[in-house]
Chains A and B, each alone.
Chain A
Amino acid sequence: MRRMASESRRSQMLRGVLDLCLLAVVVDEPAYGYEMTRRLRDRGLSTVGEGSIYPLLGRLEREGLVATHREASDGGPPRKYYSASPSGRRALSEGVRAWRDVRGEVDSILATIEAEVTG
């Protein structure tokens, strides 16, 4: 029960920043959908239980935060590659700043609680 609640909290927190994470993995090098999932996984973030990245990519595309292009693949159909657009880079920069602010504020509160609990 406690584990489920913990997963739900993680899911909720992640939902607010997953778009930033997606922008972050394509800011330097374009990637197609599954490759982005792989990059997230390689950096320690599993999206299992967080829903698919495709609807989120759809929103980023609609808002012009990612640019797309098609590229031939080995043997298969052409793949759709996503890369951060200039406005996507700006949004990422602002989002990271906001995330750091929030994280710092939350940390400053939770760190005390953690010290008390640990102590």
Chain B
Amino acid sequence: MSSYVEECRREWKRLGVPDLLAEEMATELEADLAEAAAEGVAAAEILGESDPRRFAAAWASERGLVSEEPSQANSRKRLWILLAVGLVVLGLLLGIGGVVAFAKPKVSMKTFNGIKVNIHTVPAPNFVGLFTCEARTTARHMRLPIRTIPNAALHNRRCNTVVVSQTPGPGTFVRRNTPPIHLTGPVVTLRVSGRYSPEARSALRRLHRRWRRAQR
């Protein structure tokens, strides 16, 4: 009969009956069964139920120690879990939607050699009117890969050429490299004058200053 009582204990634990009360019932039952056995009385007269789990559940339920059927409790628990998961998913979707809707369009992700990196885009500055060496410095500060036509002008330390046109135009969003990985080749092409001309330089510088003022 001890196995019967043990089964009852397990069932009470499963039903969430407080340990103290479960132990009280188990002790009461054990003592009664022992006394009945000593008098030669069949356990069936005491228990009335051959299934210990049903017996234990009925006793605990009648004492008011189990608020509801375990299956109902489980289904309610499942419902709460589903609701919570649903809310979390909804929150995530709304968050992602908000980020997508309000994020600056200048940032995107790109996989490069298996590594995801941010690729920023910035509006191209106005290079026209700058000396090639100035354009090169500006581009370096902005991390914009540039190329020049003719190509040799880029490496001309004497800085005696000036940018006469650029592709794409000023204000166009262009990608820039994000360290430590340099992703792209030149994104801005600068056409530079073959030879320095004071008049052309002055005219282009004036244009450049006007553009800068307009930008402010």
Do most interface residues of chain B lie in helix, strand or loop, or is the interface mixed?
A: helix
Q: Is the CB of B63 within 8 A of A61?
A: yes
Q: How far is the CA of A75 from the CA of B46 in the complex (A)?
A: 21
Q: Which residues of B contact A55 (CB under 8 A)?
A: 55, 58-59, 61-63
Do most interface residues of chain A lie in helix, strand or loop, or is the interface mixed?
A: mixed
Stretch at the interface among A1-9, A45-53, A85-93, A103-111: A45-53
Given contacts A32-B32, A48-B42, A48-B44, contact A54 B59 (CB under 8 A): yes
Q: How far is the CA of A80 from the CA of B25 in the complex (A)?
A: 9
Asked if A33 is at the interface of the complex by the 8 Å CB criterion, the answer is yes
Picked from B24, B45, B62, the residue with its CB within 8 Å of the CB of A47 is: B45
Chain A contacts with B in 34-84, Cβ cutoff 8 A? 34, 37, 41, 46-56, 58-59, 61-62, 73, 76-77, 79-80
Q: Is the CB of B62 within 8 A of A32?
A: no
Q: How far is the CA of A61 from the CA of B59 in the complex (A)?
A: 11
Q: Mark A9-37, 1 if CB is under 8 A from B, else 0.
A: 00000000000000000000000111001
10 A-B pairs with C-beta separation under 8 A: A34-B35, A37-B45, A37-B46, A52-B46, A52-B48, A52-B59, A54-B29, A62-B62, A76-B34, A77-B27
Residues of B within 8 A of A (CB): 24-25, 27-32, 34-36, 41-42, 44-49, 55, 58-64
